Amino acid sequence: MLDEMPLLCVEHASKRFGAVVALDDVSLKVDAGEFFALLGPSGCGKTTLMRLVAGFETPDSGRVLLGGRDLAGAPAHKRPINMMFQSYALFPHLNVFDNIAFGLRRRGASRDAIFARVGELLDIVQLQNLGARKIDQLSGGQKQRVALARALAPGPSLLLLDEPLAALDRKLREETQFQLKDIQRRLKTSFVIVTHDQDEALALADRIAVMRAGKIEQVGSPIEIYQRPKSRFVAGFVGATNMIEGFVAQDNGGWFVAPFGRLMRAECALRDGARAALSLRPEQIVVARDGDGVPGVVEDIAFRGETTQLRVGVVGREALRVSCANGSRFSLGEAVRLTIEPDAGVLFAEAE
Amino acid sequence: MIGLRKKLSGGQRAVLAAPYLWIVVFFLAPMALIAKISLSHPAETRPPYEPTFSIDDGLAGAFAKARTLGFDAYRALADDRLYLDSYLTSLIIAGVSTAIMLMIAYPFALAMARAPRRYRPLLIGLAVAPFWTSFLIRVYAWIALLKDEGLINHALIALHVIDAPLSIYATNTAVVIGIVYSYLPFMLLPLYSALERQDPALREAAADLGGSPWQVFVRVTLPLSRPGVIAGCLLVFIPAVGEFVIPDLLGGSETLMIGRTLWNDFFANRDWPAASAAAIVLLALLIGPLLVAERARLRAEEQPS
């Protein structure tokens, strides 16, 4: 990514539907071969942005460029971009083979070329023997893979995926996540996925754009988004967090004064007395039976398999969510001590 | 049928039986009566055919009478050019009308299905609005439009499009116009319902995969609307074949449609067996396409299992 121009460039795109502002001056760059996620709650504009790129909507203002070429005036069927629809939108009157071949036939590929390419894609999505099946004879997971194969068949330089895993059950979704990532890496095609599921975005994407109310709040790698959220919204939307209200004290170094005690903030630029909020991830709070941490009481225990989630009641605040390894077994009502590393979490000024 | 073998309560049985009872009493029984008349002989009696069965005959008498039944009326039908021509003309006029209706109604249905959702009830209302006026009056109105000194000829002559009036009235063309006009909503509504049900995402997917608007129509919209096309065509073709009022009012002396021929035989010639035989043959002709369509539908439904 040292080099040339990005593959996809959205510049100052805005779109209104009547009184509703779906996109408000959005700019975005996606590099070739990148797995990019548009993440946000429903109604944040992520789907509109995707449809703008696909050519199903036109921006009121702003531009969409693909490989430096302005796509204004190019209808959907003339864009080298394919889309995998949330509902899959498979053609019910065609079998699996003909669905996948649809895009190839539209560009006038030869019979042999179509046969070879469809076979290749059936291999990729592991549906080798299902070419002759009708669509309504497929399971949900199979439909999902046919939809992926169909969208990949014409060899797009950019593949858009609209909530591709939303219709699958949890176990299948996790398996499919890995397959999707694997396919993307092998084909080196740029994938832009739209999702409201933060786990999906974190697991799949090289970079994530978190959207809210028609604007992009933050763009970054999953680790950046998770560890250094730029706003309270991003901190709260991506991953579980404890948003602790308090204020800043500047005496003998910086402090964040939470209802349950003072936490050291060595690098705090906020002035003394400024109201602020600290976002602390559940795993940034260490729970122990004794020691000199913040005293608390275990109010709730949820076993999660690899970890256990506790809710620990502390002074002056609703319970904190704490994550701990399964080795230490706590019981309901047990008195515990919570320790928080200096400078753990992210501090937000109150202005938001 | 296997599914029906579960235990049903008396109430459920009654509910299921009601429509069958209706069909037996009001459709099958009259059909059987007509079939019986078609096997009888015309006679100067009242009713004008022989034999007529009565309880007084006794078993032996009824048996003797039954032996006089025969296929004479059908043989006469086969020998008579008039009937053959009537059937052919009916099928051709109904077929041409159906094809024209399909070509007119399809774009209409498409426009209705793609119109903003809030306008659709209004559009459907407009499509069926002609039904608020008597069918007979509307067909009469076409006489005033089509005849030599009618509105259409007047207008065309005034506009210097033609010099002499077109003679449309009292021809097969007029009958086709009348049928197309009268039956159009029956073609339009099934097409609309089939098109309206289609998921718009399918068209977007087809466009996304490189389909031009025309290709999207031919490869996706059209094949997916097939059930609507079949339903609409059957719904107009079948009654159009047996249509009586429109050929009688708009047709000419050369318009030999089976409904009219049948009417003549029944009322003018009082040849009930011949008319009944003609009706039975017509029914057989029409059940053919119905069975074909039904089998196609069943095949399409069976495939998934």
Do residue A47 and residue A195 come from a single domain? yes
Residue A319 lies inside a defined structural domain of this protein: yes
> To 10 degrees, what angle do helices B72-79 and B81-114 make?
80
Asked if the Cβ–Cβ distance from B205 to A91 is below 8 Å, we say yes
Do residue A59 and residue A83 come from a single domain? yes
Q: Which residues of B touch A137 (CB under 8 A)?
A: 304
A9 Cα distance to chain centroid: 19
Each residue's pLDDT tens digit, A34-51: 999 999 999 899 999 999
Q: In sequence order, what DSSP letters do the residues of B20-54 get, joined into one string?
A: HHHHIIIIIHHHHHHHHHHTSEE-SSSSSEE----
Do residue A99 and residue A53 come from a single domain? yes
pLDDT of residue A170: 87
CB pairs under 8 A between A and B: 66
Each residue's pLDDT tens digit, A169-210: 888 888 899 999 999 999 999 999 999 999 899 999 999 999
CATH number at residue A84: 3.40.50.300
Average pLDDT rounded to a whole number, residues A102-124: 95
Q: What is the 3-state secondary structure of B99-159?
A: HHHHHHHHHHHHHHHHCCHHHHHHHHHHHHHHHHCCHHHHHHHHHHHHCCCCHHHHHHHHC
Q: What is the residue-level pLDDT of chain B in tens, covering all 305 positions? A: 445 556 778 888 888 899 999 999 999 999 999 999 999 998 888 888 888 888 888 888 888 888 888 899 999 888 989 999 999 999 999 999 999 999 999 999 999 999 999 999 999 999 999 889 999 999 999 999 999 888 999 999 999 988 888 889 999 999 999 999 999 999 999 999 999 999 999 999 999 999 999 999 999 999 999 999 999 999 999 999 999 999 999 998 888 899 999 999 999 888 999 999 999 999 998 888 788 878 877 877 665 43
Query: How many residues are listed for chain B in this entry?
Result: 305
**Residue from A51, A52, A87, A91 whose CB has the most chain B CBs within 10 Å, to mutate:** A91
Average pLDDT rounded to a whole number, residues A197-226: 94
- CB-nearest partner of B204 from A56, A107, A136: A56
- CB-nearest partner of B209 from A92, A102, A134: A102
Q: Which helix (H) or strand (E) holds B235?
A: helix B226-241
Asked if the Cβ–Cβ distance from B206 to A83 is below 8 Å, we say no
- CB-nearest partner of B211 from A77, A134, A136: A77
Name the residue in chain B with its Cα closest to that of A102.
Answer: B209
Each residue's pLDDT tens digit, B229-242: 999 999 999 999 99
Do residue A257 and residue A110 come from a single domain? no
Residue A281 lies inside a defined structural domain of this protein: yes
Query: Which of the four pLDDT bands, split at 50, 70 and 90, describes residue A290?
Result: confident
Residue A141: which domain range?
A: 8-229
Residue A2 lies inside a defined structural domain of this protein: no
- CB-nearest partner of A107 from B210, B220, B304: B210
Name the residue in chain B with its Cα closest to that of A151.
Answer: B209
Q: Which residues of B touch A134 (CB under 8 A)?
A: 303-304
Do residue A147 and residue A283 come from a single domain? no
pLDDT of residue B59: 85
Asked if the Cβ–Cβ distance from A89 to B304 is below 8 Å, we say no
Question: Which of A229, A250, A279 corresponds to the end of one domain?
Answer: A229
The complex scores an ipTM of 0.86
Q: What is the mean pLDDT of chain A?
A: 91
- CB-nearest partner of A106 from B209, B223, B224: B209
Distance, CA of B274 to CA of B40 (rounded, Å):
9
Q: Which residues of B touch A48 (CB under 8 A)?
A: none
Do residue A190 and residue A267 come from a single domain? no
Residue A119 lies inside a defined structural domain of this protein: yes
Q: Which two tokens stand for residue B118?
A: 């809030």
Q: What are phi and psi of A188, to 5 degrees?
A: 55, 25
Do residue A124 and residue A252 come from a single domain? no
Task: List the beta bridge partners of residue A340.
Answer: A285
Q: Does B126 touch chain A (CB under 8 A)?
A: no
Each residue's pLDDT tens digit, A14-34: 999 999 999 999 999 999 999
Query: Is the confidence at residue A65, as pLDDT, over 60?
Result: yes
Residue A234 lies inside a defined structural domain of this protein: no
pLDDT of residue A2: 45
Each residue's pLDDT tens digit, A83-105: 999 999 999 999 999 999 999 99
Query: Which of the four pLDDT bands, split at 50, 70 and 90, describes residue A327?
Result: low
**Is residue A293 a contact partner of residue A260, using CB atoms and an 8 Å limit?**
no
Q: Does B223 touch chain A (CB under 8 A)?
A: yes
Name the residue in chain B with its Cα closest to that of A56.
Answer: B204
Q: Which residues of A touch B220 (CB under 8 A)?
A: 91
Do residue A296 and residue A211 come from a single domain? no
Do residue A112 and residue A215 come from a single domain? yes
Task: List the beta bridge partners of residue A26.
Answer: A13
pLDDT of residue A352: 44
Each residue's pLDDT tens digit, B119-161: 999 999 999 998 899 999 999 999 999 998 889 999 999 999 8
The angle at the Cα of B110, spanning B104 to B115, to the nearest 5 degrees, equals 130
Q: Which residues of A touch B209 (CB under 8 A)?
A: 77, 82, 102-103, 106, 150-151, 153-154
Do residue A166 and residue A49 come from a single domain? yes
Count: domains in chain A: 2
Which residues of A have a CB under 8 Å from any CB of B? 54-56, 75-78, 81-83, 85, 87, 89-93, 102-103, 106-107, 134, 136-137, 150-151, 153-154
Asked if the Cβ–Cβ distance from B304 to A83 is below 8 Å, we say no
Average pLDDT rounded to a whole number, residues A314-331: 83
CATH of domain B77-302: 1.10.3720.10
Domain ranges of chain B: 77-302
Name the residue in chain B with its Cα closest to that of A84.
Answer: B205
pLDDT of residue A23: 95
**Is residue A144 a contact partner of residue A88, using CB atoms and an 8 Å limit?**
yes
Do residue A31 and residue A117 come from a single domain? yes
Do residue A189 and residue A274 come from a single domain? no
Identity (one letter) of the amino acid at B45? T
CATH number at residue A306: 2.40.50.140
Question: Which of A207, A229, A251 corresponds to the end of one domain?
Answer: A229
Distance, CA of A136 to CA of B279 (rounded, Å):
43
Q: Does B116 touch chain A (CB under 8 A)?
A: no
Query: Which of the four pLDDT bands, split at 50, 70 and 90, describes residue A351?
Result: low
Give CA separation, B96 vs B88, B147, B171, in Å: 12, 22, 14
